[in-house]
A and B are shown apart, each in its own frame.
Chain A
């Protein structure tokens, strides 16, 4: 049973391959044939600290000594990897260009975190089956595609995936998550691998999507098994992310495809038929100074054709030169031979036939020389033509290069201009927002001051009316008091008159007993007030 494997890695859409925080062992591009028996995937959690580095260290550490991961206590097995990670991040934090974020995170013991799935194949059983064992921590999954069906380990349904996941951390944090072990007999209940069986190791996003497809009755095992090149894998992932229904989450992806001989036909038949969204999302924005691989290809391709044409022209010119030399040498050699033979014939006159034959040969060779000379001339003309083409191509290439340089310069300038414009627009938008807010505040204050002004005017009016009323009342009181005063003055005058009368009265005349009522009853003596009331003060 010949086993083969392929390993793949893809970053999130819109991110660079070096930013991928998933890791896979063996490295993508490793030989797909042969005795690979250790496989691993790890998913560095996106927001933890140097998690991509931690994921790579974990898979590398497992590959270096896989049996130890099963035999040692998990926390002890992690220690070497943790030391390696810590050494590296400390070096980065101590670098002069390190940001305060990195320094904080190192001094604050912020850990990197990563899920882990390691697979170890054992030597074959006598019956040909290949035993295996696996360690699973987190939501990376192992898929067994056997003769009788498929099985996933450790998560079995898409709904089991969540945002909260168990992971290995790059520090001892006191809450160590333990991996789960799975194995075939004799260590566990799983079946050993037989001819035609396949194992897939996948990180969370792809694992979830593979389960979703299977749950919808649209498994895609056959397409996964037929993946060959990194390009095919990238196309497959891009199509899956564009699906209209239940697309693949935009996350990093690591995948191992391990085949025990030719896969079972039932799985090969399950092909992925992409059904993308009607309106596909636009490509990610190009940042200043950022040229996508596609644009590089587009700009480099026109240059490759003139280069190959140049090579052809140079080859043709070289061929012509070489033939001219051969022809010249051949002509000189023949002339020497003919001269020598002719002189010998004249001297001996015994080899006339030979001379005739040689003369004939000379004639033939002369014709040949003439033909060769003509060919040489043609070659030279062709060479000249080719040379002219070379020169023309060189000039065209130069023009293309100049055009390309100008286009790149324009692109750079435009990108800078766009960035500036965007910044200006953002600044204007911010200013507009500020102005809107200020306008609302000022309008509110204006309305409030209008309200206050109206209130004050009303209040002043009311106050003035009250004061006027008080003034009227006071005037009325003064008039009343003056009236009372007049009454009193008249009463006093009356009383003074009575006193005078009493003093002047002759002795024995009895004064009246109650003169006051008489006086008061005299209406002419005391005028009534306007209100008809008296003495209220």
Chain B
């Protein structure tokens, strides 16, 4: 299980759900939560697409979908790697620190593709996002029954509008899959509260009902993928779930790097 290689003849499927509710306007890191969530998602898409490149060519090794939920629930990005290779909102220059190969870091100019723009407004219809993701996963797994199963990220800062409906939608989504395994759902609660809890194996230490709901809706990380989590800088244990509570920007980035790491196998 979870061993099928992702390739052009057996592509993978990555779904990213982004909370765009009003509370995402709150301060977070150096900006606000919406800005950082968009930045993290754009970097993740960039890395996935870059991983599909062979020199100057691109190989359709995966399908990518981004669903935003807030004022409305909508598909923001969707398609094969070659279809979304060109960012719809262009690129923006950023400064990035990279290793100089001698133990130090150097600043470089870098162009980041813009697929998702920051947005914050209204409530948190998380159940709609999970249901839409489930519909897409059903269609995709029908066409790709033996591939590496879809991976779904959910980035949110708060409680869903309807906890019961959200739990039901997530349960439906988690029940889908391929012959290589069930859908993997990784939840990231971004926030400035304490403590930060990464990849918990138990719900005992979770602070409230919302955190426990996210725990219940998160997949246990398969043993086959634990080395990828470790490579991403996380420290999973047996039974760890793909969940971070009160995630810092660094932790959110690590979870996304881990989740998208299956394409790099």
Chain A residues within CB distance 8 Å of chain B = 12-15, 19, 21, 45-47, 50, 52-53, 92, 97-105, 107-110, 162-164, 171-174, 249-251, 281, 284, 426, 429-430, 433-434, 436-438, 440-441
Contacts and interface: CB of A to CB of B under 8 A. Distances in A.
B135 A163 contact: no
Given A45-B264, A98-B56, A434-B74, 13 more contacts: A13-B9, A19-B57, A47-B263, A47-B264, A52-B54, A99-B85, A104-B111, A108-B98, A171-B101, A172-B101, A174-B101, A426-B78, A436-B132
Contacts of B52: 47
15 contacts: A46-B7, A47-B264, A104-B50, A107-B108, A109-B98, A109-B99, A109-B100, A164-B231, A174-B103, A250-B10, A430-B78, A433-B132, A434-B75, A437-B72, A437-B128
Nearest to B231: A164
B259 interface: no
Given A100-B113, A433-B132, A441-B73, A173 B99 contact: yes
A436 B113 CA distance: 30
Contacts of B224: 163
Contacts of A163: 224, 227-228, 262, 264-265
Instruction: From A163, A250, A440, name the one whose CB has the most chain B CB atoms within 10 angstroms.
Output: A163
Contacts of A92: 55-56
A527 to B, nearest CB: 64
Nearest to A434: B74
A12 B56 contact: no
A232 B262 CA distance: 32
A204 to B, nearest CB: 10
Interface of B: 5, 7-10, 46, 49-57, 59, 61, 72-75, 78-79, 85, 91, 96, 98-103, 108-111, 113, 125, 128, 132, 135-136, 139, 146, 224, 227-228, 231, 262-265
B58 to A, nearest CB: 9
A103 B228 CA distance: 27
Nearest to B54: A19
Contact of B96 (A13, A108, A441): A108
Nearest to B55: A50
A21 B74 CA distance: 38
A318 B7 CA distance: 57
B50 A250 contact: no
A441 B125 contact: yes
Contacts of B231: 164
Instruction: From B51, B54, B111, name the one whose CB has the most chain A CB atoms within 10 angstroms.
Output: B54
A419 to B, nearest CB: 11
A99 B49 CA distance: 12
A53 B100 CA distance: 22
